[in-house]
Structure 1
Amino acid sequence: MTRDPAIDRARGLAILAVAWFHMTRALINTGHMADDPLLQWADRLAYGWHVQIFFLVSGYFLQGRVRRWADVWPRALDLYWPYLLWSTITAVLLLAMPASGSALRLSDVIVLPVIPFQHYWFLLYLIACIALMALVGRWPLLVTGLFLVANLVAWRADLPQDRLGVTLDNGTYWPAFFFFGAWLARRGVLLRWRTGPALVAFAVAALAALASLRSGIDIRWSLFFVPSLCACYALVWLASRLAVPGLAWLGQRSLPIYLVHVMVGAVLRALVYKVAPGIPVALAFAVIFGGAVAIPVVLDLVATRLGLARLAGFAPIVKVRRSGPAPAASAA
């Protein structure tokens, strides 16, 4: 399958959006940034596409490559090791720092290997999608529909937002994007990134974000599946038009950024406001966001140079092509 360079640039934009809005949410929650309506809308819009695009692209590029269990385990291992490593590191640090305000308990750490933890949940859900592809990958559109319906049922059931409830909500939402991407690939759909449809798609996504914000319904429900697809289309159209040096290169290093940016951002936020408590919020954000993106990339480059990228979870343990947040060693 021919690789569209716009996809890697879209990855770069998506991982920047993930880091951006994780940093803004952290600053708002700690009282350092005002939560104004425009930021709320932008946050809601971003949460409708910035992780969805990774699932969509993963399903697209894995279609036809995962037909049996022998195709699953190498990819699962590639994803599970960074999940286990970095979620454990994060959990241990939170337990060791009561001042962090985390409600994490030892029991949470014990179930961490099988219950999604913090933002690392992405990796476990992607493993589940890949395993499902080996079982039901012949019917991607049907599977997409079943997950969308199941997600609507979960929404109507108004499950308690404990760890099990959140897991069931997410577990019926994200696979829909993965299998829809697989269906696009199975049908041989080669999307044309045209300006007119992209602008319409963005308008649909923008209005959906506003509707989600005003209604109080999280945009990460299947109610907003089509607007999220529209946002993904608009994103790749934008990426196809952006000739920003290094954006595709950054997209290929989205996994290290995804794994480490929250931890780095938390450390930088504490340091910035300890050293310069009166710092303007724009400058503080620039330092925190810039470091949250740059430091993981530097760690990846150093680990690769030292031959430690696999141990650090930044590179595939088993050399297979894959999608999702991608390490430097993989473009698929």
Structure 2
Amino acid sequence: MTSQVLERHPTGSGGPATSGAGRQVWADVAKGVCILLVVLHHLVHKQLHLVVPPGHEHWQAAWAEVTWALKPIRMPLFFLISGMFAAGAVHRPWPRVRKRVLSPAWLYVVWLLLLSAFYLVETRTPANRVHSPGELATELLLPSTSLWFLYAMTAYLLLARALRGLPPALVVAAAFAISASVSWWGIDANNRVAVLSHFVYFAAGAHYPHLVRRVADARIPLLPLAATFALAAFAVSALEVPLSVSVTGLSLLGLPLGLVASRRLSQTAAARPLAWLGSRTLPVYVLHLVVIGALASLPLRMAADPGPLDGVVVAAYPIVGALAVTAICLVLHRALGAARLGALFRAPRWVTG
């Protein structure tokens, strides 16, 4: 999550583009794209309905379909890359990985308290709110809020370490079966389902990082792969396949699509800003809900009598809004750091040792 100076191999060196910490640029590009998709998803489902004027509700429905179609890519790819980065930590002694485990745990508790307090004041956006100390205690054990990613980062690494004596193929296969079957478990909270269903991607990245890199470097035609994914997503939607089955199954196409697309993007002019963002996903992740909630309190709704260009504005609003929210988060992060509130984004040493 720290700042990194991007460095590329000289032309003709034959090595992959890497960042200053030795991380491959395409991986940070993938994380940058994923965090933008997370912001887009939450903007569409939490604030867009407050902006859309009468007569343009179809744009809201269309964007909702798009963000749901991207579900097999958005967080699965994020966890696949996170698992790839954590591959060594699965087998290292505890003192060498303590910080990696305790940092997201600290951040989860801190931001759970802050976001719970924020949502007591902000009531316009849909969210899983905490209403009592008992619910807060439950959230510490199994989250239902949008902060579930931080909880999962700690839980997944601990689980991967606990299972490291088992054959990796068995771990990934069992996690895949759990992910595909969770729709029948009777769990209502989407984010609790997400915690149970995304370990498979972290485990795959942690146990098979070489395979992840090989797929990213594969010369797979991007457009046919994207078209196949789109057709498969349309088919499972039309057939009303259970959500966990459709997401897990579509991720078998979505993950290669995300990896190959990220590798191609890393060879374009978009690589530097996306990789820069990909190394700073944490502040965007924890702050974007606050920013979206603040936007919901502003009188941004368009006029009841829409003009001819309002359709274009409504159609473009989620993209422009997601970029704006992301930029605001990064500015807030810098301002909070300057105000000596770094503990909001970095666990103190007394926690991590």
Letter in 2 for 1:144: V
* Unmatched tracts of structure 2, length 5 or more: 1-20
CA distance in 1, matches of 2:223, 2:127: 41
Q: Is the 8 A contact 2:146 2:191 kept in 1?
A: no
Partner of 1:76: 101
Q: Is the 8 A contact 1:205 1:230 kept in 2?
A: no
Q: Is the 8 A contact 1:120 1:259 kept in 2?
A: yes
Partner of 1:141: 169
Please report the TM-score for the alignment, with normalisation by the length of structure 2: 0.76
Partner of 1:323: none
Partner of 2:36: 16
Number of corresponding residues? 312
Please report the TM-score for the alignment, with normalisation by the length of structure 1: 0.80
CA distance in 2, matches of 1:178, 1:132: 10
Equivalent position SS for 1:65: coil
The runs of at least 4 consecutive aligned structure 1 residues that moved more than 6 Å come to: none
CA-to-aligned-CA distance 1:252-276 (integer Å, 9 cap, x gap) = 11111011112201211321437x6
Residue 28 of structure 1: how far off its partner (Å): 4.8
Judging changes above 3 Å, is the alpha-carbon distance between structure 1 residues 171 and 34 closer, same or farther for their aligned structure 2 residues? same
Equivalent position SS for 1:271: coil
Residue 291 of structure 1: how far off its partner (Å): 3.5
Partner of 2:182: 154
Residue 173 of structure 1: how far off its partner (Å): 1.9
Q: Does 1:34 align with 2:57?
A: yes
Residue 289 of structure 1: how far off its partner (Å): 2.8
CA distance in 2, matches of 1:103, 1:51: 19
Structure label with greater radius of gyration: 2
Judging changes above 3 Å, is the alpha-carbon distance between structure 1 residues 39 and 75 closer, same or farther for their aligned structure 2 residues? same
Indicate the percent of aligned positions where both proteins have the same amino acid: 22
Partner of 2:322: 289
Equivalent position SS for 1:196: coil
CA-to-aligned-CA distance 1:65-97 (integer Å, 9 cap, x gap) = 232433443212210122112221121122245
Judging changes above 3 Å, is the alpha-carbon distance between structure 1 residues 119 and 181 closer, same or farther for their aligned structure 2 residues? same
Partner of 1:253: 280
CA distance in 2, matches of 1:141, 1:112: 31
296, 301, 305: which is aligned to 1:269? Answer: 296
Letter in 2 for 1:241: Q
CA distance in 2, matches of 1:61, 1:18: 20
Residue 103 of structure 1: how far off its partner (Å): 6.8
CA-to-aligned-CA distance 1:183-217 (integer Å, 9 cap, x gap) = 32266954453553433432332223222332334
Counterpart mapping for 1:1-332 below 5 A: 2-30=22-50, 32=52, 34-36=57-59, 38-67=62-91, 68-97=93-122, 104=129, 105-106=131-132, 107-137=134-164, 139-155=167-183, 158-163=184-189, 167=192, 169-185=193-209, 190-216=214-240, 217-218=242-243, 221-244=247-270, 245-273=272-300, 280=310, 282=314, 285=318, 288-309=321-342, 311-313=343-345, 315=346, 317=348
Residue 11 of structure 1: how far off its partner (Å): 1.4
Judging changes above 3 Å, is the alpha-carbon distance between structure 1 residues 243 and 299 closer, same or farther for their aligned structure 2 residues? same
Partner of 2:17: none
Q: Is the 8 A contact 2:45 2:64 kept in 1?
A: no
Letter in 1 for 2:328: I
Tell me the C-alpha RMSD between the 2 structures: 3.1
Q: Is the 8 A contact 2:39 2:322 kept in 1?
A: yes
CA distance in 2, matches of 1:57, 1:102: 27
Q: Is the 8 A contact 1:201 1:234 kept in 2?
A: no
Residue 140 of structure 1: how far off its partner (Å): 2.7
Letter in 2 for 1:12: G
